[in-house]
Amino acid sequence: MPDFVDRPDAALPEDLPTSTLPSLFDKCIRFFEPDGDYATVKGADLYPYFRPLERNEGTRAIINGREVIMAGSNNYLGLTSDPRVKQAAIEAIENYGTGCTGSRFLNGTLDLHLQLEERLAAFMNKESCVLFSTGYMTNQGVIQAVTTKGDFVFSDKDNHACIVAGTQVSLAETVRYRHNDLDHLRLLLERVHREHPQAGKLIVTDGVFSMSGVIARVPELVALAEEFGAALMLDDAHAIGAIGPGGRGSAAHFGLADRAHLITGTFSKSFASLGGFCVGDHDVIEYIRHKASAHIFSASMPPANVATVLKCLDILETETWRIERLWQISNYMREGFRSLGFDVWNSEAPIIPVVIGDMMTCFQFWKDLLDAGVFVNAVVPPAVPPGQALMRTSYMATHSDEELDFILEAFERIGRRHGIIGRNGRAH
Amino acid sequence: MPDFVDRPDAALPEDLPTSTLPSLFDKCIRFFEPDGDYATVKGADLYPYFRPLERNEGTRAIINGREVIMAGSNNYLGLTSDPRVKQAAIEAIENYGTGCTGSRFLNGTLDLHLQLEERLAAFMNKESCVLFSTGYMTNQGVIQAVTTKGDFVFSDKDNHACIVAGTQVSLAETVRYRHNDLDHLRLLLERVHREHPQAGKLIVTDGVFSMSGVIARVPELVALAEEFGAALMLDDAHAIGAIGPGGRGSAAHFGLADRAHLITGTFSKSFASLGGFCVGDHDVIEYIRHKASAHIFSASMPPANVATVLKCLDILETETWRIERLWQISNYMREGFRSLGFDVWNSEAPIIPVVIGDMMTCFQFWKDLLDAGVFVNAVVPPAVPPGQALMRTSYMATHSDEELDFILEAFERIGRRHGIIGRNGRAH
């Protein structure tokens, strides 16, 4: 190595003591203590998280060398391994390289980014669109940008973690309303409106809730927003490319796309990539572009990630059977689980929760399903209420009838073994 | 479309008024008013931001159909269009598809992610590594995860926006110290230590400051951290792959890599991709993996993004000339600007700020440079102090001597025209 690297200007003080772990990290040590939940679950080999997949191609994945049916992915349109999508991504790498090494703001804007923004604005029937490099940063950045000191954000208590992050980085005051409880929201709006009649107000909700598959009550939300002069923002991460006419999301599902001011989406679900976007009125979107920290101070989407979304959008617009098939599958599976006696909450989307109850049973159920050749997601408190640990199942347009029946049969067999459903196919 | 999409259950209330723009968006409208800064700069065609590049290949880019020399990228090793890197990314798409459609936590962990974590931990001589899908989310997520109510974060006032976001989502109390002023930091540490002797403490700083190229004073930071039992976190976004032995960053630059508890890095600079990582002790990293919202609730890095980093790491480890050349270039350019009479602050890294002064002159200078065939970044207040608007220039290991001299000559010509430097090559 050259001198200037090995011999820095500043010298190391000679009397430094040996390093010991700072007390800040006591919490980390405690987390892994031998009698804690983590050690117990891990010790019993029931730990369902961070499991590496050797392959993850559409409806099949390889885990621990074994092929399993994937019913725990957000790959709703089944496009992550579509040859046309892969080819588009490969061509983008050949033409533009692997990364942009800069933010959209400075040196990371390619013509590809502008193309995608135009296409998405047109697809969503909105004036403008702004991209973010992850879906998480999209909601965080949009909320931070459009709200400031003196504004109020009204946020559903079950909103996604990135909306919560948005309210935390925002200078506005946040008011949380009970999940999908619009009477509660009205009460809070009335109170804030009485005390701060001039304050800017933003109502923000998941369009489709990610754990339950429940659709937000957009008609009532639109009515409340307009009554109180609030802006309405829908996080359609699990809705665009999944529900509504042509896959246009939760507001379109109710014929109300023009009444939602801001609609956000993600590219790591139906669009087989990584990133996110927000559509809305031109001035509002341009303002977000200039004010969202997570947009300005983060590197732009790499060329392959952008090209993937452009190709998925082509396919979504031309192969309309995908959204229709996705809905047929969702209805079939929901009815299937219900007729076996499982509780699937009020799911309405391609996400179907199957309630197991107790956390340890949930982990065991997850492991038994995996052994039976089905991969789903185990969701335990605090992500769900106590005693409502569940298997989160989700579906793709490309699941075959045989795969769906295989999944139902596995759930039936294991559900009976654990006493979750009775022998006669009704709840135990 | 099928019935279930066109005819949702919930009916639209009939007495909704016509939509009007909520007052929340007044700020957006004001931003674009005709007599505002934005309209003035944009009207004069001097607006230097969000300019689309048609090509961005190493040291050359195409903008408005013209080839320019790129001196405004963070592509320090010049690898975004390296054929070996592109090939590795392409193979990952062929083998794994375009996206993981899930978080690392649930269904988005590939063996590729684990490989990269192992490689980076080994490269940085730390026990463990955790990946995030952007560099921005890395710092935000790490700070949020390791701190909680009752803890204190000590943050340099010039730290990157994503560190600020981390302190905003953290439940800890944040104390900001004057930029690189370790006497001020000591004062604040003493005060907090006196009032809260048991509190967990985190000192966090950019390893290399992104606008100035100044290196953090790691030896004194290590000494202070150890004296007060604080954890030290270095954001080496502009340091790893750029400074220190083998490109191992700011702590390694001072021979102190084992004394920094947490070191974060990004993949959207030297590593030609998108994403970020944190290395540290095993238990601490595993804790972050389970507690960082931006890790658990965000989709994992797509296969191509991971494979790009793995290949860049191979190249960084074998082609040691790249880091050496990068330093030669930085020294050459710094001396070049100084001998022309430009103020380059105390830059020590491949980032060299060239102070212009007034904001409008800065925008005009930027435009003149672009017309002369050189792309750099215009940085104006509040990103820099008032009256210190500057051209942020940055370099790649692959810049040729001819390109470097071309850049210096353009700066000299335009600098004289604007009276930034005098005719005799000294400051005006």
* Count of residues in chain B: 428
Is residue A18 very low, low, confident or very high in pLDDT (cuts 50, 70, 90)? very low
Q: Answer yes or no: do A70 and A98 share one domain.
A: no
Examine the pLDDT at B427 and tell me if it is beyond 80.
no
Percentage of the residues of chain A whose pLDDT score is greater than 70: 94
Q: What residues in A contact B114, CB-CB < 8 Å?
A: 52
Convert the pLDDT of each residue in B161-193 to its tens digit.
999 999 999 999 999 999 999 999 999 999 999
Residue whose tokens read 């062929």 = B94
Q: Closest Cα of chain B to A411: distance in Å?
A: 19
Asked whether the beta carbons of A392 and A376 are under 8 A apart, the reply is yes
Q: Answer yes or no: do A312 and A338 share one domain.
A: no
Convert the pLDDT of each residue in A303-342 to its tens digit.
999 999 999 999 999 999 999 999 999 999 999 999 999 9
Q: Answer yes or no: do A282 and A360 share one domain.
A: no
What is the arithmetic mean of pLDDT over B141-154?
98
Assess if residue A35 is contained within a domain.
Answer: no
pLDDT at B3: 36
pLDDT at B10: 42
What is the residue-averaged pLDDT of chain B? 93
What is the arithmetic mean of pLDDT over A403-426?
90
Q: Which of A126, A253, A269, A399 is catalytic?
A: A269
Q: Show Cβ contacts of residue A237 under 8 Å, excluding neighbours closer than 6 positions.
A: A135, A160, A206, A207, A208, A210, A264, A265, A266, A269, A276
Whole-angstrom Cα distance, residue A77 to residue A58?
9
Is residue A81 very low, low, confident or very high in pLDDT (cuts 50, 70, 90)? very high
Q: Answer yes or no: do A262 and A398 share one domain.
A: no
Assess if residue B33 is contained within a domain.
Answer: no
Strands B60-63 and B276-280: unpaired
Contact status of B59 with chain A (Cβ, < 8 Å): no
Q: Closest Cα of chain A to B272: distance in Å?
A: 5
Q: Show Cβ contacts of residue A275 under 8 Å, excluding neighbours closer than 6 positions.
A: A131, A132, A133, A134, A135, A138, A266, A267, A268, A301, A305, A306, A309
Assess if residue A9 is contained within a domain.
Answer: no
Q: What residues in A contact B293, CB-CB < 8 Å?
A: 161-162, 164-165
Directed axis angle between helix B218-227 and helix B182-195, to 10°?
A: 10
* Model pTM score: 0.94
Is residue A424 very low, low, confident or very high in pLDDT (cuts 50, 70, 90)? low
Convert the pLDDT of each residue in A36-71 to its tens digit.
888 888 888 889 999 999 888 889 999 999 999 999
Whole-angstrom Cα distance, residue B355 to residue A236?
44
Examine the pLDDT at B261 and tell me if it is beyond 70.
yes
Assess if residue B11 is contained within a domain.
Answer: no
Q: Answer yes or no: do B246 and B184 share one domain.
A: yes
Q: Answer yes or no: do A226 and A302 share one domain.
A: yes
pLDDT at B272: 97
Q: What residues in B contact A168, CB-CB < 8 Å?
A: 168-169
* Neighbour-count burial of B78, counting CB atoms closer than 10 A to its CB (0-12 exposed, 13-18 middle, 19+ buried): buried
Residue whose tokens read 């009970």 = A178
Q: Answer yes or no: do B390 and B250 share one domain.
A: no
Which CATH number goes with the domain that contains A353? 3.90.1150.10
What is the arithmetic mean of pLDDT over B342-371?
96
Convert the pLDDT of each residue in B232-246 to its tens digit.
999 999 999 999 999
Q: How many structural domains compose chain A?
A: 2
Is residue B7 very low, low, confident or very high in pLDDT (cuts 50, 70, 90)? very low
What is the arithmetic mean of pLDDT over B49-73?
92
Q: Answer yes or no: do B121 and B180 share one domain.
A: yes
Assess if residue A13 is contained within a domain.
Answer: no
Q: What are phi and psi of A173, to 5 degrees?
A: -90, 140
pLDDT at B331: 97
Assess if residue B30 is contained within a domain.
Answer: no
Strands A55-57 and A60-63: antiparallel
State yes or no: is A238 an active-site residue. Answer: yes
Asked whether the beta carbons of A237 and A136 are under 8 A apart, the reply is no
Which CATH number goes with the domain that contains A231? 3.40.640.10
Nearest to B298 by CA among A351, A86, A140: A140
Q: Show Cβ contacts of residue A173 under 8 Å, excluding neighbours closer than 6 positions.
A: A151, A152, A153
Count CB atoms within 10 A of the CB of residue A46. Answer: 17
Q: Which of A265, A297, A318 is the last residue of a domain?
A: A318
Convert the pLDDT of each residue in A258-313 to its tens digit.
999 999 999 999 999 999 999 999 999 999 999 999 999 999 999 999 999 999 99
3-state secondary structure A117-167: HHHHHHHCCCCEEEEECCHHHHHHHHHHHHCCCCCEEEEECCCCHHHHHHH
In the structure encoding, which two tokens stand for residue A325, read together? 């098939």
What is the residue-averaged pLDDT of chain A? 93
Whole-angstrom Cα distance, residue A50 to residue A288?
34
For this complex, say whether ipTM is above 0.85: yes
Is residue B381 very low, low, confident or very high in pLDDT (cuts 50, 70, 90)? confident
Q: Which of A270, A288, A318 is the last residue of a domain?
A: A318
Convert the pLDDT of each residue in A126-139 to its tens digit.
999 999 999 999 99
Convert the pLDDT of each residue in A167-176 to its tens digit.
999 999 999 9
Q: Answer yes or no: do A69 and A90 share one domain.
A: no
Convert the pLDDT of each residue in B186-226 to its tens digit.
999 999 999 999 999 999 999 999 999 999 999 999 999 99
State yes or no: is B81 an active-site residue. Answer: no
Percentage of the residues of chain B whose pLDDT score is greater than 70: 94
Nearest to A154 by CA among A193, A205, A220: A205
Q: Answer yes or no: do A221 and A341 share one domain.
A: no
Q: Answer yes or no: do B306 and B339 share one domain.
A: no
Contact status of A321 with chain B (Cβ, < 8 Å): no
Q: Is there a contact between A161 and B133 if contact means CB atoms under 8 Å apart?
A: no
Is residue B52 very low, low, confident or very high in pLDDT (cuts 50, 70, 90)? very high
DSSP 8-state symbol, A246: G
Assess if residue B238 is contained within a domain.
Answer: yes
Whole-angstrom Cα distance, residue B86 to residue B11?
52
Q: Answer yes or no: do A196 and A171 share one domain.
A: yes
Is residue B77 very low, low, confident or very high in pLDDT (cuts 50, 70, 90)? very high
Q: Which of B113, B126, B201, B269 is catalytic?
A: B269
Q: Which of B268, B301, B318 is the last residue of a domain?
A: B318
Query: Residues 348..387 of B with a Cβ closer than 8 Å to A: which?
Result: 375, 377
The minimal CB distance from A137 to the residues B134, B254, B291 is found for B134
Asked whether the beta carbons of B351 and B210 are under 8 A apart, the reply is yes
Asked whether the beta carbons of B67 and B408 are under 8 A apart, the reply is no
Whole-angstrom Cα distance, residue B399 to residue B240?
19
* Count of residues in chain A: 428
The residue range of the domain holding B335 is 45-76+320-417
Assess if residue A16 is contained within a domain.
Answer: no
pLDDT at B408: 98
pLDDT at A342: 97
Least confident of A31-35, B279-283, B311-315: A31-35
pLDDT at B383: 83
What is the arithmetic mean of pLDDT over B268-284?
97
Whole-angstrom Cα distance, residue B62 to residue B52?
9
